[in-house]
Structure 1
Amino acid sequence: MRGMFVDTPAKINLILNITGKREDGYHTLESVMQTVSLYDRVLIRPAKESGLTLGCNLPWLPRDRRNLA
């Protein structure tokens, strides 16, 4: 199955203020960010079924809905 790799840059939050809470439970934020020279390499390819599948070589990283990436 063909796919493509995408490099996604990392960032550091220099300022991160929680400014409120939305009706859906998420928070509104105010932030100042700076990218750094680190990145994740993400492989995107068609799935056999509809939906999204997350794979990772880090055994401690959640591969279900707990992973907000």
Structure 2
Amino acid sequence: MKKGGPRTALYDLCKKVQWPMPTFDTTETKSRTAIEFGEGPQKRKGFNSYVSKTILNMPSFGVVECEG
């Protein structure tokens, strides 16, 4: 998928089924020392890490929160 594709698809779904729009909260953490991400051959280092939280309110089900 292209960048932003999943978010756009979620907005389109909410509009189609007339649910409230989801909310997204992204937090950036900056470090002075390198942080290791991933495992094995995909392991890399960086100085910033991000955590995104998505909240989706489905009227007939309840509130779904995903964080990662």
Question: Do they superpose with TM above 0.5?
Answer: no
Q: Larger % of helix: which? A: 2
Q: TM-score, normalised by structure 1?
A: 0.27
Asked which structure has the greater RCO (Cα within 8 Å, sep 6+), the reply is 1
TM-score by length of 2: 0.27
